[in-house]
Amino acid sequence: MTALFTSESVSAGHPDKVCDAISDSIVDACLSVDSNARVAVETLVKGLGDSSVIVLAGEVSLNGETPDYEEIARATAARIGYTDHSIGMDATSSERCEVQVHITTQAANIAQGVDGDSLDDVGAGDQGMMFGYACTETEAEGELQGRFFPLPAALAQRICRRLDMIVASGEIDWIRPDGKSQVTVEYDDAGNPLRVHTVVVAVQHDDTLKERFGGDIEAEQAHIREVVKSEVVEHAIPEHWLADGYILHVNGTGRFADPGGPYADAGITGRKIVVDTYGGMARHGGGAFSGKDPTKVDRSATYYARWAAKHVVAAGLASRCEIQVAYVIGVAAPVSLRVETFGTGETSEDELTKRVADVFDFRPAAIASDLQLHRPLYSATAAGGHFGRPPTDEGHFEWERLDDARIVALQS
């Protein structure tokens, strides 16, 4: 018996991801001014017939000069590739693109619960439950080793990161910023990944591309498919997973030509929370990440739960691990902590829960300290997934870095 599981991802130029990027750029700008800044900013983008609009709304409190939110929004969208209205939005043009700013300060009744000087004084910025997950699926093949991440999500994210690289470099001049991917993986009856079964890619392209083929749309589409196959899919997915062949769908409705992006679909911060995490392989508490400073446990505690779950699996204590943590607003200690290993654990889940609680401190201030979260490092997370990516020397994705001492402590 075999089973199929599918995950999707979206590129940096997807309208929702543009919004995530703008919101996270504002977080970074505020933390650059004040490492204790309180930020909760949402973004909406929409392209219209002859103009476009970016709406910023939320709350910011910081000690220092207020960043230029409008300039941040324009620069972020432009960096992603939206510098021409014919594509979907020209964020650089004040005539073609309006930026509305509706940002106030953090409410006093929230601030009183998250401000403090000790680990017990700094409470959670909201109530809610968060999940972290890790597994051994990526450890079967060398290129992805150390990720401890669901394979369908890892591969879908790699495809979209490859699309983002192409747009940034301009190496394929007709590929536009807006894109999506979907990867279906086949599993054996023991739950081990066998191969990639199906890949789906949607990529916005230059409307004039067909002219290179004398206006022949079928020839244009055949060219797009072959380029996506060789330069995107088979570039991003390790050959190990494609050796037995796979089904490929590219731009399933036909042409995906300019204008796309915010013109084709409005974008809003926080609508891609499953894309951001585990591609549906694990549960999700429901809270989005982008636009939030680390006192918001929707973000920081989810990062920490992933960090803890990854250590459990890397320690050889389970091949699948999901951790749930829950909070009440204004209170530092979580109200619950639960470890589940889906029958793969080397010891009982009660024992693993105790070990995790002993080794990892889930109080918000401790989380921020352990992962060094009060730094401007969030723009890198806005597209391509928040998990399953290598930590960098610049301090990005610290929740993916394994700590040998904690692994030993979990094993003891």
What are the tens digits of pLDDT across the range 230-257?
999 999 999 999 999 999 999 999 999 9
Secondary structure class of 324 (helix, strand, coil):
strand
- Quote the pLDDT of residue 111: 62
**Are residues 42 and 291 in contact, defined by beta-carbon separation less than 8 angstroms?**
yes
Tally of CA atoms within 13 A in the half-sphere of 273 that contains its CB: 17
Domains of the chain: 2-10+150-260 (3.30.300.10)
pLDDT bucket at 115, cuts 50 / 70 / 90: confident
pLDDT surpassing 80 at residue 325: yes
Task: Check residues 320 and 140 and name the one with the higher pLDDT.
Answer: 320
Residue with tokens 């940002």: 103
Residues catalogued as catalytic:
14, 16-17, 42, 59, 180, 256, 265-266, 271-272, 292, 296, 298
pLDDT bucket at 1, cuts 50 / 70 / 90: low
Once rounded to an integer, what is the mean pLDDT over residues 319-344?
97
How much of the chain exceeds pLDDT 90, in percent?
A: 93
Q: Phi then psi for 72, rounded to 5 degrees?
A: -60, -45
Closest to 16 (Cα-Cα) out of 96, 77, 70: 77
What are the tens digits of pLDDT across the range 262-271?
999 999 999 9
How much of the chain exceeds pLDDT 70, in percent?
A: 98
- Quote the pLDDT of residue 17: 98
* Angle at which helices 297-314 and 349-359 cross, to 10°: 120
- Quote the pLDDT of residue 112: 61
pLDDT surpassing 80 at residue 285: yes
Residue 378's Cβ-count burial label (10 Å; 0-12, 13-18, 19+) is: buried
pLDDT bucket at 110, cuts 50 / 70 / 90: low
pLDDT surpassing 70 at residue 113: no
- Quote the pLDDT of residue 122: 85
Task: Check residues 124 and 388 and name the one with the higher pLDDT.
Answer: 388
pLDDT bucket at 123, cuts 50 / 70 / 90: confident
The pair of structure tokens assigned to 274 is 């499953």
Report the C-alpha gap between 14 and 163 in whole angstroms.
11
- Quote the pLDDT of residue 106: 79
- Quote the pLDDT of residue 107: 73
What are the tens digits of pLDDT across the range 180-235?
999 999 999 999 999 999 999 999 999 999 999 999 999 999 999 999 999 999 99
Once rounded to an integer, what is the mean pLDDT over residues 316-342?
97
